[in-house]
Amino acid sequence: MNKAQERIKWFKEARFGMFIHWGDYSVPGRGEWVMFQENIPIKEYEQYAWKFNPQKFNADNWVDIARNAGMKYMVLTTRHHDGFSLFDSKVSDFTSVKTSARRDFVAEYVKACRKRNIKIGFYYSLPDWRWPAFFKGPEKDPKDWTRMLKYIHAQVKELCTNYGKIDILWYDTMMPGSRKSFYTYKDWQSEKLNVMVRKYQPHILINNRSGIPEDFDTPEQHVAASAPGRPWESCMTINKHWGYFKDDALWKSPREIVHNLTGCVSFGGNYLLNVGPKPDGTIPVESINRLKEIGKWLKVNGGAIYGAGPGPFDSGTAGVVTAKGNNIYLIVHWWPGKELSLPDVKIEVKSAFILSTKQKVNLERKGERLILHNLPGKPPDPLSTVIVMKAS
């Protein structure tokens, strides 16, 4: 195993993490893009930072919610596109430390994660809407672009040097409305930036959104496997928005979340599920209730997820297949009744049982088809039932 494989090993075993979009944009409660989408001037938008004073924020509670949901790591938005930092920064006054809250929320989050052995991730937006240079670009405003880069690189250095060991750096970017393409890694000086990051955090994992592939890919709001062997992580919202949106009640059901999670693992990827806390610092009860259900499912069926990867055959109409060692996990999303047919099983399977009930399943070989008999008429687990198959 080379050094890159050693660094990524925990990530590929963890499979499930919590994404958190939270900042001053939670105050108006219309999503994290409210400044851009409503064209709010900088000075007017700053009022939200002075109203952002989350008296009910408790990082320990956040981490407990994630851990009880079966999540192994967390990624927090240290600064989103609006430029408001949740950490103490010497190069910006637009921070939670220098406005009403007077708190370094990143420091509190790191302490809580470390206490509970949860891997620590920092989201950091390369764009900052408070800088005109971001919209003009390096060609039209090279001096201000250079000043902006100095600020960005300085903030990333602060994140990499002020909080001890960090496990993930999760860059984000966006395309300014006036351009037809994203800024490149050369525009961001990403090679220089990431060399600096690895100098201070040699074990860190870096995503692909600085324009350089780095350690893992990040499909958004859908499951999309990368090239074989390439680590990836699908990030999705638990409703329709990343940041808190008061009127968004389109919550994913626990069953849909399980389907997404198991789908990611069956293609060799991770699932990063986002919550958007309220301006008072609490995670919405609708999110908490769903995460509790996922945690209950994983306590029984976690063997099919943690450390597992793609299975050796197709599930047909049943759902998805994962595998770990000699164990093959048939994760049945759509219960067939008392008999289930797998279409193309070329390996020998010597036994099978339902993971949640330990009920033995009878097997019948018909050419390349494998028929599972004596299943219960209804699914033992309404979220998804796992059948463990032992390969010879």
**Residue 163 banded pLDDT, cuts 50, 70, 90:** very high
Distance (Å, rounded) from C-alpha 146 to C-alpha 52?
30
- Smallest CA-to-CA distance from 95 within 147, 39, 162, 30 is with 162
Q: Which two tokens stand for residue 83?
A: 């430029």
Element (DSSP H or E) covering residue 333: none
The answer on pLDDT for 196 being more than 90 is: yes
The pLDDT assigned to 42 comes to 98
pLDDT score of 286 more than 90: yes
Q: Using the predicted structure, report yes or no on whether residue 1 has a pLDDT greater than 90.
A: no
Residue 53 pLDDT greater than 90, yes or no: yes
Farthest-apart Cα atoms in the chain, separation = 72
pLDDT for residue 237: 98
* Predicted local confidence at residue 94, as pLDDT: 98
Provide the pLDDT confidence category of residue 392 given band limits of 50, 70 and 90: confident
Can you tell me whether residue 201 is helix, strand or coil? coil
Question: According to the model, what pLDDT value does residue 156 have?
Answer: 99
Cα atoms in the Cβ-side hemisphere of radius 13 Å centred on 392: 6
Residue 266 has pLDDT above 90, yes or no: yes
Strand pairing class (270-275; 233-237)? parallel
CA dist 4 and 6 (Å) reads 5
Range 134-143 average pLDDT: 96
Question: What's the average model confidence in pLDDT over 335-341?
Answer: 97
What gap in Å lies between CA 151 and CA 154, rounded to an integer?
A: 5
Mean pLDDT of the chain: 97
Q: Which residue has the tokens 């893009």?
A: 33
Integer Cα distance of 15 and 310 in angstroms:
12
- C-alpha distance from residue 25 to each of 18, 62, 93 (Å): 19, 19, 17
Q: What is the mean pLDDT of residues 328-343?
A: 97
Average of pLDDT values for 305-333? 97
User: What are the pLDDT digits (tens) for 69-121?
Assistant: 999 999 999 999 999 999 999 999 999 999 999 999 999 999 999 999 999 99
146, 100 Cβ separation under 8 angstroms: no
The CA distance from 88 to 378, in Å, is 54
pLDDT at 5: 87
Q: Could you report the per-residue pLDDT of 232-245, keeping only the tens digit for each?
A: 999 999 999 999 99
- Look-up of token digits 């408790």: 58
pLDDT at 113: 98
According to the 3-state scheme, what is the secondary structure of 81-120? CCCCECCCCCCCCCECCCCCCCCCHHHHHHHHHHHCCCEE
Return the percent helix, strand and coil in the chain, to nearest 5: 30, 20, 45
H or E segment at 347? none
* Arithmetic mean of pLDDT, 326-350: 97
* Fold type of domain 311-391: Immunoglobulin-like (2.60.40)
Residue partners of 122: CB distance under 8 A and separation at least 6: 75, 76, 78, 106, 159, 166, 168, 169, 170
Task: Kindly state the average pLDDT of the residues 169-177.
Answer: 95
State how far the Cα of 333 lies from the Cα of 227, in Å rounded to an integer.
25
Report how far residue 138's alpha carbon sits from residue 239's, in angstroms, rounded to the nearest whole number. 36
Q: Domain 3-304 maps to which CATH number in 1.10.10.10, 3.20.20.80, 3.40.50.11060, 3.30.70.1450?
A: 3.20.20.80
Whether the pLDDT of residue 326 is over 90: the answer is yes
180, pLDDT greater than 90? no
Structure tokens given for 284: 């919405």
**Domain chopping of the chain, boundaries:** 3-304, 311-391
Q: In what order do the strands lie in the sheet with 369-373?
A: 340-342, 369-373, 362-366
Radius of gyration, CA atoms only, the chain: 23
At 3 the pLDDT is 82
Residue type, 356: S
DSSP 227: S
Q: Quick one: average pLDDT of 40-60?
A: 98
Alpha-carbon span 175 to 108, nearest angstrom: 32
Which pLDDT value is given to residue 179? 84
Which pTM does this prediction carry? 0.98
**Nearest by Cα to 107 from 64, 76, 131:** 76
